[in-house]
Amino acid sequence: MPKTQASIHSPTPANLRRLAAALRRGELVAIPTETVYGLAANALDAKACRKIFRAKRRPGSDPLIVHVTGLAQAAGLAHVNPAAIRLARHFWPGPLTLVLPKKPVVPDLVTAGRSSVALRAPAHPLTRRLLRLAGVPLAAPSANPFAYISPTTAEHVRQGLGTRIRHILDGGPCPVGVESTIIDLRNPTRPRMLRPGAVSAAELARVLGCRVPVPRGRRKRPAKAGQIAPGLMKQHYSPKTPLRLIPTLSRAMAAKLPCDAALIYFRRPIARTARVSEYWLSERGALREAARNLYAVLRRADRGGHGCLLVELAPVRAGGLATAINDRLRRAVSRL
Ligand code: TXA
Ligand code: MG
């Protein structure tokens, strides 16, 4: 494993060609997507994909998402059913991952021995170009050390994995900011959402013409490795500083806190308190902006030397992104 710091490559045509060649040779490249940065390897090369697990310290029981250019490439890797075709036509390229029965060409290591594979066509133009240049599908989990906060900038990737990988493609900050929605389509008549993201259950139901059950907000017991979506493991996306969730933060609450605590508001507070540090996800309470800022703010607060972080939940009027933000916050709170 490289001891030197990873290089952050600007997206010039020559760099994209070099990085595509590195991927074809079996090397790892961190790539920008519209959701979060991914740590990519040639999905058809088990030896290359093994490096992903090693770099992230990810358990081999947690399967990888495979990134494709679109439906045609997906159909080479999985048994694509009519529901999948419908969703892919509607939402791809974009933040939706489909779990489908896999074809033998996908190495067992990628799917952690499962008979299904998770597929997504990302919308980020640089990664789409890289996928085309590499000419192979790319397995890529989020580019963070296992269970830490996902990266939404190239610098976040370098902070977490800089000494364990060589190449990071800089695509700027990720415009969505939370990981893709995952839908289980192994049985197309009974679709099931496994992870909430920017594509809501209501949107999926509208396109499919049937109900799409959403995962329950809080599990009584943590999911174990080996269950259907280990990304739904109770602890995930966690800062190192202890974190508590508060439905709505108030100034009165701030007055009672120890002064090394920090508050993370959903929306910038009108009246500020000088007693404790304050952060916010959005200036005016906009969900998209809050999702985009979520991980950067959590990272900043985690590096702020605070004794604990109190985070306000997103208001769940609209579902969709608010559900996704709160899902990630709940997992960030849990300790193993
Ligand atoms: O937005 C995203 O999905 C980002 C970007 C990089 O594409 N990727 C991402 O990957 O979030 P990762 O590995 O952090 O999360 C993928 C989740 C994991 O929870 C994994 O367990 C689940 O997808 N998964 C992968 N293959 C699966 C399968 N065959 N069945 C069920 N869940 C699967
Ligand atoms: Mg992840």
Q: Residues 6 or more apart from 87 whose CB is under 8 A from it?
A: 96, 98, 183, 185, 204, 207, 208
Q: Is 180 in the pocket of ligand 1 (CB under 6 A)?
A: yes
Ligand 1, residue 102: give the atom nearest the CA: 29
Binned at pLDDT 50, 70 and 90, residue 276 comes out as: confident
Choice from 35, 65, 199 to test ligand 1 binding pocket (greatest atom count within 8 A of CB): 65
| Cα–Cα distance measured from residue 291 to residue 281, given in angstroms and rounded to the nearest whole number | 8
Domain segments of the chain as ranges: 7-208, 243-333
Give the pLDDT confidence of 188-202 residue by residue, as tens digits: 999 999 999 999 999
Asked if residue 336 has pLDDT above 50, the reply is no
Q: Could you tell me the pTM of the whole model? A: 0.93
Q: Is the CB of 63 under 6 A from ligand 1?
A: yes
Q: How far is the CA of 39 from the centre of ligand 2 (A)?
A: 10
What confidence score (pLDDT) does residue 219 get? 47
The phi, psi pair for 182, rounded to 5°, reads -115, 130
From the CA of 179, give the closest atom in ligand 1.
1
Residues contacting residue 255 through CB under 8 Å, at least 6 positions apart:
273, 275
CATH no. for 7-208? 3.90.870.10
Question: Which ligand sits closest to the CA of 67?
Answer: 1
Atom of ligand 1 nearest to the CA of 232: 19
Residue 283 structure tokens: 């200036």
**Which ligand has an atom closest to residue 111 CA?**
1
Q: 35-64 pLDDT, tens per residue? A: 999 999 999 999 999 999 999 999 999 999
C-alpha–C-alpha distance, residues 293 and 298, integer Å: 9
